[in-house]
Amino acid sequence: MTDNTQQFASDNYSGICPEAWAAMAEANHGHERAYGDDQWTARAADHFRRLFETDCEVFFAFNGTAANSLALSALCQSYHSVICSETAHVETDECGAPEFFSNGSKLLIARTENGKLTPAAIREIALKRQDIHYPKPRVVTLTQATEVGSVYRPDEIRAISATCRELGLNLHMDGARFANACAFLGCAPAELTWQAGVDVLCFGGTKNGMAVGDAILFFNKDLAEDFDYRCKQAGQLASKMRFLSAPWVGLLQDDAWLYYANHANHCARLLAELVSDIPGVSLMFPVEANGVFLQMSEPAVEALSARGWRFYTFIGAGGARFMCSWDTAEERVRELARDIREVMRTA
CA distance 136 to 144: 25
* Dihedral angle computed from the Cα positions of residues 333, 336, 342 and 347, in that order, rounded to the nearest 10 degrees: -140
Would you say domain 256-346 falls under CATH 3.90.1150.10? Answer: yes
Sequence spans of domains, the chain:
18-253, 256-346
- Its CATH architecture, for the domain 18-253, is 3-Layer(aba) Sandwich (3.40)
Closest CA to 305 of 313, 314, 293: 313
Three-class HEC string of the chain: CCCCCCCCCCCCCCCCCHHHHHHHHHHCCCCCCCCCCCHHHHHHHHHHHHHHCCCCEEEEECCHHHHHHHHHHHHCCCCEEEEEECCCHHHHCCCCHHHHHCCCCEEEEECCECCECCHHHHHHHHCCCCCCCCCEEEEEEEECCCCCCCCCCHHHHHHHHHHHHHHCCEEEEEECCHHHHHHHHCCCHHHHCHHHCCCEEEEECHHHCCCCCEEEEECCHHHHCCHHHHHHHCCCCCCCCHHHHHHHHHHHCCCHHHHHHHHHHHHHHHHHHHHCCCCCCEECCCCCCCEEEEECCHHHHHHHHHCCCCCECCCCCCEEEEECCCCCCHHHHHHHHHHHHHHHHHC
Q: Note whether 17 and 331 are within 8 A (CB).
A: no
List the chain pLDDT tens, one digit each, 347 residues: 456 899 999 999 999 999 999 999 999 999 999 999 999 999 999 999 999 999 999 999 999 999 999 999 999 999 999 999 999 999 988 899 989 999 999 999 999 999 999 999 999 999 999 999 999 999 999 999 999 999 999 999 999 999 999 999 999 999 999 999 999 999 999 999 999 999 999 999 999 999 999 999 999 999 999 999 999 999 999 999 999 999 999 999 999 999 999 999 999 999 999 999 999 999 999 999 999 999 999 999 999 999 999 999 966 556 899 999 999 999 999 999 999 999 999 97
Q: List CB contacts of 104: < 8 A, sequence separation 6 or more.
A: 78, 79
The pTM for the full model equals: 0.95
Q: What pLDDT is recorded for position 315?
A: 61
The predicted-structure confidence for 162-216, as pLDDT tens digits, reads as follows 999 999 999 999 999 999 999 999 999 999 999 999 999 999 999 999 999 999 9
Phi-psi region of 255 (alpha: psi -120 to 50; beta: other; left: phi over 0): left
